[in-house]
Amino acid sequence: MPSFFVKLKRFKFENRRARAWATIPRLRTLAASALVIIAIALAWYLYIYYWSSAEIIVDGKKITTHHRTSTVGKLLQQERVALGEKDIVLPPLSEPLPRGEAVIVIRVTEKIEKVDDKPVFCVLWQKRNDKNLRPVALQKGIMKQKHQQVRIIRHDGAEKERQVVKEWQTKKMLYRLALLDDNDRIEKVYELPGCKKINMIATAYYPGDPLAWRDGTITFLGLKMQRGIVAVDPKVIPLRTRVYVPGFGYGFAADTGSAIKGKRIDLGVNNAKEEKSFMHKPVTVYILEKADSW
């Protein structure tokens, strides 16, 4: 009897083991099928994800979106990309969304600007003066200048096109003082109407003048006294200032004097005879600029 139960028990065990082994192929098949289904679902998701993606290039930025829609215009609306009246969209708003290509928004601006050509001075007459420190020329002429109103069209800030809207020319009569170099080339030009001018009382002095500072041959700045050197009150005209005095010419403020206070100027001339023509004479002094030398 015990042997029968042992055999029965062994039979049941072997039967269960046989059934367990029989289910393994089915489990393997089910696992393989599940993996295939997962792979297909993942591939389909990736396909839909990338198929539905689109890129927008605008304002120097790249926007990637997965909100697939029918047209370019609707895509820009979904992404809240505001468009100006003249902006260019590629492809156009009514076109379907491109595959594999970005939607490009080009910002178009138009602005009317004034453009001035370089002024041209036409000399009517000139008077050269070599007496004072360096050669200069007093010139009278007409300053001509061309002006334009131009419509400038820019794409994303870069100029694309310009159109002349209006064009005109201005002319004005002008006196100017030209400083010349040793080869009579113009080195510097001062437009006298634009210079500061001071009404002053002039006197004059000359090299060796007994009333001049020290012995009258060296100025306050240590320069040699000569025609064109002028003495000033530094509170009114700073030392080392270039000036122009009609009737006298070009000058350089390089000296002072005990009697030269306020709106007084002492003009350096050649001799005592020439000094008399400038004694207590009202003059207009044009302030040109401050410089290291004349």
Over the chain (294 residues), the average pLDDT of each successive run of 10 is 57 59 67 75 59 81 78 89 93 85 92 95 95 96 96 95 95 96 92 96 92 81 95 97 97 94 96 92 97 94
Entry pTM: 0.65
Q: What architecture is the 195-290 domain classified under in CATH?
A: Beta Barrel (2.40)
Using left for φ > 0, alpha for ψ between -120 and 50, and beta otherwise, residue 58 falls in beta
Angle at 123 between CA 243 and CA 130, to 5 degrees: 45
CA distance 70 to 78: 11
Instruction: Determine the pLDDT at residue 253.
Output: 98
Phi first, then psi: give them for residue 14, nearest 5 degrees. Answer: -65, -35
Q: Identify the pLDDT of residue 39.
A: 73
Q: In whole angstroms, what is the distance from residue 194 CA to residue 143 CA?
A: 13
CATH number for the 54-106 domain, one of 1.10.3470, 2.60.40, 1.10.287, 3.10.20?
3.10.20
